[in-house]
Structure 1
Amino acid sequence: MSRREFTGRVVLVTGAAGGLGAALCRCLSDAGARIAAMDLDAAGLDVLVAELRAVGAPALAIPGDITDPTACQSAVATTLAHFGALDGLINNAGISARSLLVDTDPKVIRRVMEVNFFGAANLTRAALEAILVRRGFIVAISSVAGFSPLTGRTAYAASKHALHGFFDSLRTEVEGAGVTVTLVCPSFIRTGIGSAATDGGGAPVGGPRITTGGESTPEDIAVRIVDAVAARRSLLLPDATSRKAWWLSRLAPGLYARIMKRRVGGEFPGLP
């Protein structure tokens, strides 16, 4: 599939009200896609959809919570009723938590898993039959933390590792039916997920995160994701840091873990 083949296709994007999700909606819309934008932030969705419609792009706002399977089924039904089809799903919505496990309430772990993993699983299951009919595509936004360790983010890393097991396995079930499944593993993106992270008790962290290799813009990553879908890629490492992390964590996992801990461990004074 080429960029031209997005014309008229219907794509459901989660976490669409801002950051990478909004950038993906704009990029897909520029390529000719029709957008169903889902997020808990109804006001943010309205702003995005108004922006897209102002330039003649078909777009639909779907406020909803991906942790609720019924809301996911409703989102798919609303998309089908409005556009008549569903060609693609981008599971972008996610949250983060930053704390050492010894300082983390189990409720925080469960919440991160509910949003990052079960939310994606809920919506993918709800959308799958429609996407199979259209021989479409499914994207899961993972992270470098989806294939390697990340100090102080045990729950976040676990949720992203779970995405890999789920979507790599799903690919074997649907690729024969013409459906593409793409995992995307960026390093740091300049979005609100870092500043919105919670501490181990569930309160906002309130401090800057330590990044490695700088931050990509949402717009740059969105373009790379759309191109990867067009090329039917199964894995996208969209920036230099993610590519280096991929290879080093495989060739020398112990060295990778030591380097990573040294670079991000400064966020956690109690780290031994």
Structure 2
Amino acid sequence: MVKREFSNKVVVVTGAASGIGLAVARRFARAGAICAMLDMDRVRLERCEHEFGDAGHRVMALRCDVSRRGDCEAAMAAVIARFGGVDVLFNNAGITQRSAFVETRIEVYEQVMAVNFFGALYCTKAAIHSLILRRGLIIANESIAGLAPLLGRTGYAASKHAMHGLFTSLRSEVRDKGVHIMVVCPGFIKTNLQDRALGGDGTVTRHPQSRIGRQDTPACAAEAIFNAAAREKDLLVLTTMGKIGYWVSRLAPGYYERRMASQFKAELEH
């Protein structure tokens, strides 16, 4: 049953210039939403702004480094000043890491946490009063790694577990105010996120990514996210292998951990 319509609603998407963020912005725009697109990549943002404008969609593109509190607060203030408020906030901007814990600098953990956790926190905090006033929707793009262990990604998993704790707890605080929070846990989606994965020294790793099953497309993920948002689902797990992993980790956590470790251990071998 559809509970929300998005025509003429103001939808803010972080990490909006590529991947799942761009696909989700396109999907909401096709439904008649007003899209505010936030990203660090100014060149890609400009291309997106032209694409949306040429298609007749209402759009606002803002360069924003979500790891900077001031950027997030300024971006939300600009969106509210122009469009009157925020109806949907999609916390999507993220960064990942692939390296053994013993070889990973503390600075890498700080960087991953700054983008994934604090970026989502800063944006949500800056928009929360408007979201409450407009009985809005928050979507947190997490990961199966936010619910289960993942070898070689201690920083990434920690940031996603932190997000999960934040947004599921916040949901219990704002539900009676008319604000809904949906957690999204993608499996393997074909985006450029893995091309920028940090290694233990903070540079982009050259180790190839391990994965299980077929990668899904951002467009397929966006369609599922849009439909689940309309129905106000609490949790959306994407891809067949993602769903299998979710349930196995819940029902047989020891088995899941052993199988996962055997599948991914090659990533840490030099």
Deviations 1:66-87 (A, max 9, x none): 1111211111111012112210
Counterpart secondary structure, 2:80: helix
Q: Which sections of structure 1, spanning at least 5 residues, go unmatched? A: none
Deviations 1:187-235 (A, max 9, x none): 1110011111010001111243111112110010011011111000110
User: Which residue is 1:183 aligned to?
Assistant: 183
- Give distance in 2, aligned partners of 1:4 and 1:154: 36
Amino acid paired to 1:113 = M
Q: Is the Cα contact below 8 Å between 2:188 and 2:239 reproduced in 1?
A: no
Alignment of 1:1-272 (within 5 A): 2=2, 5-269=5-269
- Give distance in 2, aligned partners of 1:238 and 1:198: 24
1:153 Cα deviation from its structure 2 partner = 0.3
Amino acid paired to 1:215 = Q
What TM-score results when the alignment is normalised by the length of structure 2? 0.98
Q: Is the Cα contact below 8 Å between 1:195 and 1:207 reproduced in 2?
A: no
- Give distance in 2, aligned partners of 1:4 and 1:104: 43
- Give distance in 1, aligned partners of 2:86 and 2:251: 40
Amino acid paired to 1:220 = C
- Give distance in 2, aligned partners of 1:206 and 1:222: 29
- Give distance in 2, aligned partners of 1:43 and 1:209: 27
Q: Is the Cα contact below 8 Å between 1:4 and 1:31 reproduced in 2?
A: no
Q: Is the Cα contact below 8 Å between 2:12 and 2:89 reproduced in 1?
A: yes
Counterpart secondary structure, 1:6: coil
Q: Which sections of structure 2, spanning at least 5 residues, go unmatched? A: none
Q: Is the Cα contact below 8 Å between 1:3 and 1:227 reproduced in 2?
A: no
Q: Is the Cα contact below 8 Å between 1:86 and 1:134 reproduced in 2?
A: yes
1:3 Cα deviation from its structure 2 partner = 8.4
What TM-score results when the alignment is normalised by the length of structure 1? 0.97
- Give distance in 1, aligned partners of 2:58 and 2:44: 17
Amino acid paired to 2:55 = V
- Give distance in 1, aligned partners of 2:194 and 2:130: 33
Counterpart secondary structure, 2:35: strand
Counterpart secondary structure, 1:5: coil
Amino acid paired to 2:189 = I
1:57 Cα deviation from its structure 2 partner = 0.2
Percent of pairs with identical residues: 43
Deviations 1:154-191 (A, max 9, x none): 00000000011000000001000111100000111100
Which of structure 1's runs of 4+ aligned residues deviate more than 4 A? none
- Give distance in 2, aligned partners of 1:20 and 1:246: 20
- Give distance in 2, aligned partners of 1:205 and 1:15: 21
Choose 115-124 or 235-244, whichever is displaced more. 235-244
Q: Is the Cα contact below 8 Å between 1:15 and 1:94 reproduced in 2?
A: yes
Q: Is the Cα contact below 8 Å between 2:4 and 2:229 reproduced in 1?
A: no
Choose 157-166 or 75-84, whichever is displaced more. 75-84
Q: Is the Cα contact below 8 Å between 1:16 and 1:22 reproduced in 2?
A: yes
Counterpart secondary structure, 2:5: helix
Q: Is the Cα contact below 8 Å between 1:4 and 1:32 reproduced in 2?
A: no
Q: Is the Cα contact below 8 Å between 1:103 and 1:200 reproduced in 2?
A: yes
1:4 Cα deviation from its structure 2 partner = 7.4
Counterpart secondary structure, 1:152: coil
| Equivalent residues, number | 270
Amino acid paired to 2:118 = F
- Give distance in 1, aligned partners of 2:14 and 2:4: 23
RMSD after superposition = 1.2
- Give distance in 2, aligned partners of 1:122 and 1:183: 17
- Give distance in 2, aligned partners of 1:166 and 1:61: 27
